[in-house]
Amino acid sequence: MKALLAVCAVFAFAPLARGDESGPKVGEKVPALKVFGVTGKVEGKEADFAADRKDEPTIYIFVQGTEGGIPVGGRPAARFMKVLDEKLADTSDKATIVAVWLGDKTFDKHKEYIPKFQMSLKLEKTSLAAFDGEKSGPNNWGVNSDVHLTVVIVNKGKVAKSFAFTSVNETDVKPVLEELKKSLK
């Protein structure tokens, strides 16, 4: 039994493997992000959110959605997004969040689901969008379709940090906001 616990402990604290990485590399210029705005600053049309945000601090979240639109991470993923939205102003009054739903052949379902998600969570600093394409996301964003949420922190037009979450909850907000704060210095 002790041997089994030791093996479990080794795997529990092992660093993420390359396959669990997601998002563009630190220091890279932010690629174009042409997606369909569903709620928030841009609604009912396609826009390039990266071009719109330019040098402003932004947290991009790529959400792997189910066929019905529900985030693969379920309620914990939604809770993460809600808490991040609530606490963002404590770190930066200029920062905003853009969450993009991904999934193969689910674009119309996501456009239908996202307003319900917004009505439930009442996000204030987050724009919600849908990507009409592969679940690996827009070109040059390097989204790993095997992770539930990819979080990319951007400031001054460059990637400051990317996170790959296969399991996420509100406790994961703190390290994301700490990285945003570092990028603002």
Cα 64 to Cα 36, 44, 69, 135, distances in angstroms:
16, 21, 9, 7
* Model confidence at 61: pLDDT above 80: yes
The closest of 108, 118, 115 to 81, measured between CA atoms, is 118
Q: Which residues contact 60 (CB under 8 A, 6 or more apart)?
A: 33, 49, 97, 98, 99, 100, 151, 152, 154
Q: How confident is the model at residue 70 (pLDDT cuts 50, 70, 90)?
A: confident
Residue 67 is predicted with a pLDDT of 80
Q: What pLDDT digit, counting tens, does each position of 5-50 carry?
A: 333 333 333 333 334 799 999 999 999 999 999 999 899 999 999 9
Mean pLDDT score of the chain: 88
Cα 10 to Cα 2, 14, 104, 152, distances in angstroms:
12, 6, 35, 28
* Model confidence at 64: pLDDT above 70: yes
Q: What pLDDT digit, counting tens, does each position of 144-165 carry?
A: 999 999 999 999 999 999 999 9
| Spatial contact of 163 and 176, defined as CB atoms under 8 Å apart | yes
Residue 105 is predicted with a pLDDT of 86
Residue 63 is predicted with a pLDDT of 96
Q: Which residues contact 135 (CB under 8 A, 6 or more apart)?
A: 64, 102, 103, 104, 143, 145
Residue 4 is predicted with a pLDDT of 35
Listed in sequence order, the DSSP H helices in the chain are: 2-12, 49-53, 74-91, 107-121, 173-183
* Model confidence at 143: pLDDT above 60: yes
Two tokens, residue 16: 């993420």
Q: What pLDDT digit, counting tens, does each position of 84-104 carry?
A: 999 999 999 999 999 999 988
What percent of the chain clears pLDDT 90, i.e. is strictly above it? 80
Q: Which residue has the higher pLDDT, 3 or 85?
A: 85
Residue 14 is predicted with a pLDDT of 33
Q: Which residue has the higher pLDDT, 175 or 20?
A: 175
Counting Cα atoms < 13 Å in the Cβ hemisphere of 62 gives 33
Domains in the chain, CATH or no CATH each? 28-183 (3.40.30.10)
Helices 173-183/74-91 angle, 10° precision: 30
